[in-house]
A and B are shown apart, each in its own frame.
Chain A
Amino acid sequence: MNQADLSKLVSALRIAVKPKPRLFASPEGPAGRLRKLKATVTALVKYERIELNYPRAEEAQSYAERLISDAIRNGDCHKHTMEMADYWLDEKQLIHKLFKVLVPRYKEYNSSYTKLVLGPKTYPGYYAGTAILELKGNPFPALQPATQNYHYWLHNVLLGEAKREFRVAKAETNANLSEPVASKN
């Protein structure tokens, strides 16, 4: 039984986090792993949409989410956050982008800041498919069509009418309940 580390307060991530990190073969060990991910995170912040292999995309996504959520939580005057931004973003103008562009963009978000989409598989071929990792709210055209659900589709018409009827019935019962009280007073 471990105790939770209290030294830092972190925001909850809005993506599914795996219990164990993915291990990448790297001659430099864990430091090399971080260096690889650093390149990916830098590219993501720079280009806003990148295509790469799935395991690395998934791992880099969580680091990018952490970086952005820390920047939103602590702002650019926080020493530790600045240190992290300095480490994770190789190009220094991207630090400004993180605090001046991405933080205002994501401040009001209720969902994750990045999106991971499975890319097409090459056919024929047996390699795992690529993945497309992007920052939400980027200027590029959407990857997937927006899911539609219109109020005039049959089930929505039926449910909408049921809802309206329920509200009317409730308003009536409320009126009936309040009347006798008023008469007593």
Chain B
Amino acid sequence: MLRRVVLQTFRQGLAQSFFKRNAASLSESAVTQHPIETSEEASEKSGSKQKNGDESGNTVVVAPPEFRFMYPEFLPDPTMERRNKLKEKLERMDMLQRRSIIEIPEFYTGSIMAVTVADSNSPNKFARFVGICIQRGGSGLQAWFILRNVVDRQGVEILYEMYCPLIQKIEVLRLERRLDESLLYLRDALPEYSTFPFEMEAERRLNNSVVPINPIKVKLRPRPWLERWERQNLQGVEDLNLPQRYYDRAKEVAKPWEKYDLMLQYRKTIPAEEQEKIYAEVHSQLQQQDLKRKIKRRRGPSSEQ
């Protein structure tokens, strides 16, 4: 897992690098019991796909249930004031069109990815950046993810918009998940945890049906930190070794009632019926695109070039 730092000249990336400072609130909401349920879903993957394949032969089109984890950006923003059914539908059509041009593979936070973007200032030049996906968010055409790497002992993070037309290629070098949904704590972890070589090659997956969960526990640098990580119930972090008063304070400010607030959960998510409708609308096109790419790959890399 740990690798030595390989230095690369990546001026483009350095220029664009920034820390997403306002991500603290996002990370708080994202850290939930999520990994438990998703892992259950992931283990059921192969079976459910078969079953739904049979069902899709009937008139009712049902997308496989794991689609909502594979393509979460197809779900609209759950904020009720901003909902607009027409806009959402048009955006989904645009997203499918973009996906027909470039491959946006399945990935999760914790996956190691490489993204090639065109330089808007110098034509015919491309910049490739490798890093670990530490957060993923947004919905519709505005969906984004953040890649993090350490280059020249300097932490570099780039936020890519998934449907940005500058993006030329998105590769997943290692498909895996971590114990947490948001890995912003890697900013305060030792640099070896977020250091990945730029010439890293894509790993072959032995078992295609299950996305493995990396159970690694990260060691954080001593304080001061960017955020109060002890308050966030992180799973993928080694014991923080803080004085007891920090934990006491964390207990004081915790909001244990929020998990009982059923309407709070309801307002944060899209109802299941609506999700089914959305994925039923897009899943046949997504699967067709996937199938085409697989056939192309099987014919050999020569035909690609």
Contacts and interface: CB of A to CB of B under 8 A. Distances in A.
Interface of A: 1-13, 17-19, 21, 30-31, 34, 62-63, 66-67, 70, 73, 84, 87-88
Interface string B245-273: 00000000001011011111111111111
Interface in B1-57: 29, 32-34, 37-38
B105 interface: no
Interface string B141-159: 0110000000000000000
Nearest to B80: A19
28 contacts: A1-B77, A1-B138, A1-B139, A1-B142, A1-B143, A2-B79, A3-B77, A3-B136, A4-B72, A5-B32, A5-B268, A7-B32, A8-B269, A9-B275, A10-B271, A11-B273, A12-B271, A19-B79, A19-B267, A21-B264, A30-B258, A34-B261, A66-B266, A67-B262, A73-B272, A84-B260, A84-B262, A87-B260
Nearest to B29: A5
A19 to B, nearest CB: 4
Q: Which of the four size classes fits the interface of chain B? A: 35 or more
Given A12-B272, A12-B274, A87-B260, A5 B80 contact: no
A59 to B, nearest CB: 8
B81 interface: yes
Nearest first, the 9 closest Cβ-Cβ pairs linking A and B are A12-B271, A19-B80, A66-B262, A4-B75, A7-B34, A5-B269, A5-B268, A4-B270, A1-B138
Nearest to B136: A3
With most chain B CB atoms within 10 A of its CB, the pick from A7, A17, A18, A31 is: A7
Nearest to A73: B272
B180 interface: no
A7 B137 CA distance: 14
A30 B261 CA distance: 10
B69 interface: yes
A30 B78 CA distance: 22
Interface of B: prevailing SS: helix
Contact of A10 (B29, B136, B142, B272): B272
Name the residue in B29, B255, B263 with the highest tally of chain A Cβ atoms < 10 Å from its Cβ: B263
Interface of B: 29, 32-34, 37-38, 68-69, 72-73, 75-81, 136-140, 142-143, 255, 257-258, 260-275
B272 A11 contact: yes
Contacts of A88: 260, 262
Identify which of A5, A31, A84 gathers the most chain B CB atoms within 10 Å of its CB.
A5
Contacts of A8: 37, 265, 269
Nearest to B140: A1
A10 B257 contact: no
Given A10-B269, A11-B273, A12-B271, A4 B78 contact: yes
A29 B223 CA distance: 32
User: Interface SS of chain A: helix, strand, loop or mixed?
Assistant: loop
Contacts of A31: 257
A58 to B, nearest CB: 11
Contacts of A5: 29, 32, 78, 265, 268-269
Given A9-B272, A11-B272, A4 B76 contact: yes
Nearest to B261: A34
Nearest to A21: B263
A17 B80 contact: yes
A5 to B, nearest CB: 4
A9 B73 CA distance: 16
A6 B34 contact: yes
Contacts of B139: 1-4
A115 to B, nearest CB: 18
A35 to B, nearest CB: 9
Given A4-B77, A4-B269, A34-B261, 13 more contacts: A1-B139, A2-B77, A2-B268, A3-B137, A4-B76, A4-B268, A5-B269, A7-B38, A10-B265, A12-B274, A17-B267, A19-B81, A31-B257
Contacts of B264: 21
A174 B258 CA distance: 61
Q: From B262, B270, B275, name the one whose CB has the most chain A CB atoms within 10 angstroms.
A: B262
B260 A62 contact: no
Given A1-B137, A3-B72, A4-B268, A12 B273 contact: yes
A6 B138 CA distance: 13
